[in-house]
Structure 1
Amino acid sequence: MTGDTAGVRGGHGLRSLGLAAQPPTYEALLDWWTYLREEQPVHYDEELGNWHVFRHEDVAAALADHRTFSSDMRDLIEQPEAFSKVAQGAFLGFDPPEHDVLRSLVSKVFTPRMIQELEERITGISDGLLDALGGARHVGFVERYAYPLPLTVIADILQIPVVDRARFRAWSDALFFQGRDGEPVLVATAEMLRSIDPLIAEMNAYFLDVIRSRRARPGPDLISRLATVEEGGQRLRDEEILGVCGFLLVAGHITTTMLLTSSVLLLHEHPRAAAALRADPSLTAGAVEEVMRHRGQLPAAARRTTREVVLRGRRLPKDSVVLLWLAAANRDPRVFPDPARFDIRRTPNRHLALGKGIHYCLGAPLARLELRVALAGLLRRWRHFTPGGEVTYEDPRHTIGAREIPLEVEWAAGGAG
């Protein structure tokens, strides 16, 4: 096939190879990833004007090469005032040395030990949410469990009053979806960012007020620790701490919520896996990794080329926007035998759901802990669960997961509290 926009021949049924032409369903994107991973693993999308990369080897190499595939898009996309303010601490979108300075300071506070010490608290939150269901047979899973669990954890870490937590959802959605709505783009335009700027301004004002208060009267919470941490005479500015708070709202909330929805749906689809986890909870950590591989929450990571680069015979100009399809890489049969199979015992499991290289997800230990505790809790309390109505999914071009899952639940003996 010669043209990138030519129709696909064969049994795949794709009429065009552009992302915008694909229906916004997971199954449709899976067909698209599968076809292009084999036929055009490096593909130029003429309509969107960016490049797509699909194979595990290429995605992993690009993620690890920040000098060639930069995360910094600031020169390509004009950021409105409020968004640019919170972006000052979004070190995942920076390159060294700016990235290294900020990440090092945040890492001194957001440590694996601190995360591990949260296990008892997360278990208590999980148990409390399940107790509050009162043995109900009809459960709105997202609203009653998958959304409030990680939100409560993040609010606890930041020590945000309960009455303010309802505002987090609008802010985190604005930061994550960035005004894209139904548009088939993963990198937001300046116009899209302007549409959410009023919400971001509201969030900025709230957190900057909290940050200044904690600087004056620091406590044991994460914001106070970020306000006082120092390394080599360097400290975080208020706007940089604001960016970390925004990162936690997205990475610590939406990420875990989406993965929890995928976990429940996958375990419903694979009852033997659910039975194995109930019989042997030590398998839960491996199950979490397989959920991330099989149906991870982030379909792709965006990068910008800092120079002209040739990848699988395709010449990518400098300043090209490249979408590294993590979800396609995690289904690559060159790395994962029988990749369509959901296998909670899969070893090794070299998935890329949480990134690779200097931008590997700082919140990965927290996400893994929350998922492990949350799944163990509901499997212990629920003997059986199945969707009891229509599941509403997010647009998988932006994130993979469900917005609403009405569940029919059968409680284990004594599980209703």
Structure 2
Amino acid sequence: MTQLAGRPAPPSEFDLFSDAYLRDPASAFVRARKEAPVFWNEALGTWVVTRRADIDAVLMDWETWSCEANGGRLPVPDEYADVVPPELMAEIMIGMDPPKHTAARKVAQRGFLKPVIEALAPEIEARAHRILDGFAHLGAAELMETYCLELTTQTLMALLGLSAEDEPMMRQLRDDHFRVLASGREPMPEPERSEVWARYVAAQLRLRQLAQERRDGDGGDIISLMAMAKNREGNDALSVERIAMHLTEFAAAGTDTTAQAMANAILFLSDAPEQRAEAQADPTLWARVFEETVRRRPSAPFASRVATHDAEIAGVTIPEGDIVWLALASANTDSAAVVDPMRFDIHRDGLDDHDHYAFTKGRHTCLGAPLGRTQGAIGLRVAYERLPGLRAVPDQKQDFLPLAMLPIRRSLQVTWTPSDAKAPESKEH
């Protein structure tokens, strides 16, 4: 990494591993946007970009700002390099540039088209009710694992056409993939490194097996759609190795990010009871609740890129080969573009137009955004219909997997009044 004399430094209190950052990532950038909109973070060895206009420019210029940083620099242990070679890690969906990214996305997005997601909506709602049936009478629960992640995992299993025997693997894979992604900047100590990679490689082999088995099938699940896809020459569009890697990305992004957003929405609504009451009275507002939640606190606070040549951002020269982290949480709360940006407001202008960066922007806009939006809104609506007084326990201890790029909430303690809990409506679920 190039060392530059006099490179801009962050504000003295800036710390991506602090409790304050984990509690509210957006708050960490308020001072930086004013004093050092582009700065060097010594702890991570990356540049950090904080202003919305600058982030927008980087996201829209893939030729200058490559996605190679997301996969091409991940350290693969020598003992697994023959199974998961570094060049395969470089071909994760968020680690490719056109034209390779364009071809892979075209195949994968078939499983996330609007008709597919709309057809799945009744099943998402039915699963949400079934999950809540198990504990609605209790009056208190840890909701992250028991509901948010449970719902998103069950939905993913349905989308992939996987059976119960593969569910433990997929649940673990979501955490392991995020940890592997973070390892390029936040190395794993032993024995964690060996444990994570052993599970990760075993999951890759299982997913490759499933993709191969579905090559000649006729299923409508995402694995089958990717496995059966052909290129113009009539050959398989994607190798089983790449299919498995993309499925790994779906296991992480398709479960954890939406679950994180649902948990964050509950936290925001616990501090905004009047807006919670409005959404409970008007179910059409739940989509706006979800949208405002991911604007105010995106599940992934950063996107990363690498400079393909010396380039300038806000008067700062970024040398070729250096990595930049784009602070999406900062872009979403930049007062130069957003009115009263730190306020949680479900009536905010622009929400219907998705005027924020929670799912990034441009060629790498999140493939699963339609699923996340549908599932998040349904999951929240059903939870508050069944548990009208649902609220987060005040001042609970923070419980995160403390990764700067992807701080993952592991638990959320909530309460409600058992006598107010409602049975589902008469329609079958």
TM-score scaled to structure 2, two decimals? Answer: 0.87
State the match for 2:427 in structure 1. Answer: none
Q: Partners in 1 of 2:391 and 2:257 — Cα distance?
A: 23
Q: Partners in 1 of 2:381 and 2:15 — Cα distance?
A: 40
1:281 aligned residue (280, 283, 290) = 283
Deviation (angstroms), 1:47: 3.8
1:144-166: CA deviations, max 9, x gaps?
Answer: 10111000000111121113212
2:363 aligned residue (358, 366, 373) = 358
State the match for 1:53 in structure 2. Answer: 49
Q: 1:19 to 1:383 in 2, by over 3 A?
A: closer
State the match for 1:226 in structure 2. Answer: 226
State the match for 1:263 in structure 2. Answer: 265
2:413 aligned residue (406, 409, 412) = 406
Deviation (angstroms), 1:75: 5.0
Matches within 5 A, 1:262-341: 262-341=264-343
State the match for 2:139 in structure 1. Answer: 137
Q: Partners in 2 of 1:209 and 1:381 — Cα distance?
A: 40
1:356-382: CA deviations, max 9, x gaps?
Answer: 010000100000000011011011111
Aligned-partner residue type, residue 152 of structure 1: Q
CA contact (8 A) 1:299 1:396 kept: no
Aligned-partner SS, 2:306: strand
CA contact (8 A) 1:105 1:231 kept: no
CA contact (8 A) 1:18 1:45 kept: no
1:80-132: CA deviations, max 9, x gaps?
Answer: 42444763652221011111111112223432221121101101111111112
Deviation (angstroms), 1:191: 8.0
Q: Partners in 2 of 1:6 and 1:289 — Cα distance?
A: 30
Q: Partners in 2 of 1:111 and 1:88 — Cα distance?
A: 26
Matched, 1:209 2:209: yes
Deviation (angstroms), 1:300: 0.6
Matches within 5 A, 1:6-405: 8=12, 14=13, 17=14, 19=16, 22-23=18-19, 25-27=21-23, 29-73=25-69, 75-80=72-77, 81=81, 82-84=83-85, 87=89, 90-178=92-180, 180=182, 187-188=185-186, 195=194, 196-233=196-233, 234=235, 235-349=237-351, 350-388=355-393, 390-394=396-400, 395=402, 397-400=404-407, 402-405=409-412
State the match for 2:3 in structure 1. Answer: none
Q: 1:232 to 1:87 in 2, by over 3 A?
A: same
Aligned length: 404
Unaligned runs of 5+ in 1: 9-13
Aligned-partner residue type, residue 67 of structure 1: E
Q: 1:134 to 1:276 in 2, by over 3 A?
A: closer
Q: Partners in 1 of 2:327 and 2:293 — Cα distance?
A: 16
Aligned-partner residue type, residue 70 of structure 1: S
CA contact (8 A) 1:154 1:252 kept: yes
Deviation (angstroms), 1:65: 1.0
Aligned-partner residue type, residue 374 of structure 1: G
Q: 1:212 to 1:203 in 2, by over 3 A?
A: same
CA contact (8 A) 1:67 1:306 kept: yes
Q: Partners in 1 of 2:137 and 2:348 — Cα distance?
A: 34
CA contact (8 A) 2:128 2:151 kept: yes
Deviation (angstroms), 1:30: 4.1
Q: 1:412 to 1:302 in 2, by over 3 A?
A: farther
Deviation (angstroms), 1:179: 7.5
Deviation (angstroms), 1:388: 3.8
RMSD: 2.6
